[in-house]
A and B are shown apart, each in its own frame.
Chain A
Amino acid sequence: MNAVPPAAPGPGAVPAPPAPPAPAAPRARPAPLPTGKRIPKPASRSLVRSIYLVEIAKGLFTTARHLVRNVFHQSRMPTLAYPEIRRRLGERFRGRHRLMKREDGTPKCVACMCCETACPADCISILAGEHPDPAIEKFPVRFDLNIMRCVFCGLCVEACPVDAIRMDTGKYELAAERRDLLIYDLDTLLNR
């Protein structure tokens, strides 16, 4: 309902008739663009192009070139036979996380919540406990990382003040058959 009727002068007034169409302006060439440049006429208007056959032949030639090249140089194709052959990962590739350990095997993490705070996807949740060693203060009782939410941005690694979390495992095949297997606990992150 975008046609708002004009304010009626009184009850029972007939709605105003639609405005008469604007007088037909003589068809002029569209004004040139503000820059003064004219858009060139498309080249496809030429006869040879509008018959298409030459263009089709050119296109067929292009695809045939690809076909022949790929048939005779299959090894040069970018596709890899994936499960058997893998692409070499970059040195700084961010894969699945792992938690680092101290020399005595306990987690290096001090449960400072920096990674949890830094995480934009909110995938880390830490439950802190008091560490028996007064020099350490806290340790993670639970450290759950929901890999289904993780966006692999690496901000947790940057945020960690004690280098306890890293993403250098190079693991990227993270599928599992159940969802709860994709919420990694402390043990998974430390040892697997």
Chain B
Amino acid sequence: MTDLLIIAGRAVLSWAFVVGLVPLLIWFERKGSAFIQDRTGPNRAAILGVRLGGIVHNFADVLKLMTKEQITPATVNRVFYNAAPMVGMTVSLLTIAVVPLADTLVLGARAIPLQVTTINAGILYLLAITSFSVYSIILAGWASNNKFAFLGGLRASAQMISYELSMGLAIVGILMAFGTLDLNEIARAQGGRLLGVLPRWGVFLQPVGFLLFLIAAFAETNRNPFDLPEGESEIIGYHVEYSSMKFALFFMAEYANMIVSAAITATLFFGGWQVPYLSTADLIRHAGTLVPVSFGVLAAAALGGIVLSRRYARMLRRLYTDARAREADVYGAALALLLLVSASGLLFVRELPSWGPPAFAALAQFGALLAKVLFFTFLFVWVRWTLPRFRYDQLMNLGWKGMIPIALANIVVTAVVLLVVGGGR
């Protein structure tokens, strides 16, 4: 029974990781694009005056999309038309299953891997499942019975298949360096140090592989500069004929794909859940000192936040007379609660229970992964609002004449270096 509960808990954890980050990412996108373009971005929707810097707009949008009319054009192929958004979302949620959110949690005699499934061919699973994501777009493009949607689907099929090749080849370098297909093993292998100072991350072992993988990941998630399937300024893209929540599902799938891609990039090239310079054993051994330190850092951050929120409150009171004038007080109260909790943790937690150190290690590692994932998702947004879209021939040239030869050369060079140095396994 407990085993079943733990399995369910693992699944829910991974699912919540992706789905919970989607609204945050949409907020990143809207607010980030606004600030990059010298605009203010969403700042109106509020719950009792609390706007959370525009995050509340997401809830308003969800409400709107849920209550909108679903228009199904008369000439669509109904089965595939309805299946396409579901396939997209399902595939992007399936991919996270093999990504470890932290090192295996050892509680007493029980070892809980913090990923949905621990198959030892994790990378193959990843490549296999991500290949499916193109079906969602092709099905949508074809079943919509619309020429623009069809163009989008066509572009997607050619693009994603081309870039899947270089993605697979880019990963081969990592496989050779770490000698395993298990993502948790790969993350664990990135623990030590390189040349004494750098963490032994994949990006330092495989810089070219990282660049190739990153570019391919942009192409696989259909993000700018590779967003030709959508291409909203020329063809509206594969989802022209979709409305309401089905349309939203495509967008959620895109963002979920970004999160999963970021998580995989972090796992393969940036140590995954590894806290730099601190292995799992270190974290567990030094938990006695690290726990108070992190409580202290939290308390200091909360204190700083309170000071900032007071400044913000003064500004708001100058600007507004309605509920928004008191918005910063709500943040201040939340931060004060955090300060209270962390300060009491700092003062009263003297010795940790037996489950404390491993749980702390898992939490710290999850935090490290989260930070890396947030950085890479932000990179997706950042690049989107910096670069223009590729032309179709440029896209194909880059994929076939640029990236694949470089990826192949990277494999050869890696092999030679491994042979000479005798690294890897």
Contact = CB atoms under 8 A, between A and B. Distances in A.
Interface in B19-43: 32, 35-40, 43
Interface stretch (B87-95, B235-243, B271-279, B378-386): B378-386
Interface string A44-85: 000000000100100110111011001100110111010011
B211 A63 contact: no
Contacts of B32: 67
Contact of B35 (A70, A78, A84): A70
Contacts, number: 40
A interface SS class: helix
B39 A79 contact: yes
Interface residues of B, number: 17
B354 to A, nearest CB: 44
Contacts of B383: 56, 60
Nearest to A57: B386
Nearest to A71: B35
Interface residues of A, number: 19
Interface in A65-113: 66-67, 70-71, 74-75, 77-79, 81, 84-85
Given A66-B35, A70-B38, A74-B40, A84 B320 contact: yes
A62 B38 contact: no
Nearest to A64: B382
Given A66-B38, A70-B38, A84-B319, A53 B211 contact: yes
B38 A60 contact: no
Contacts of A63: 36, 382, 385-386
A56 B386 contact: yes
Given A53-B211, A81-B319, A84-B320, A59 B36 contact: no
A66 B38 CA distance: 7
Contacts of B387: 56, 59
Given A77-B40, A81-B319, A60 B386 contact: yes
A75 to B, nearest CB: 8
A85 to B, nearest CB: 7
B207 to A, nearest CB: 11
A67 B37 CA distance: 8
Contact of A60 (B37, B319, B382): B382
A70 B35 CA distance: 6
B40 A67 contact: no
A77 B36 CA distance: 11
B306 to A, nearest CB: 19
Contacts of A70: 35-36, 38
A64 to B, nearest CB: 7
Nearest to B211: A53
B170 to A, nearest CB: 15
A67 B386 contact: no
Given A56-B387, A63-B36, A85-B319, 9 more contacts: A56-B383, A56-B386, A60-B382, A60-B383, A64-B382, A66-B36, A67-B36, A74-B40, A81-B43
Q: Which 9 A-B pairs have the closest CB atoms?
A: A70-B35, A63-B386, A59-B386, A79-B40, A67-B35, A63-B36, A67-B36, A66-B36, A60-B386
23 contacts: A53-B211, A56-B383, A56-B386, A59-B386, A60-B382, A60-B383, A62-B386, A63-B382, A63-B386, A64-B382, A66-B35, A66-B36, A66-B37, A66-B38, A67-B382, A70-B35, A70-B38, A71-B35, A77-B39, A78-B38, A79-B39, A81-B43, A85-B319
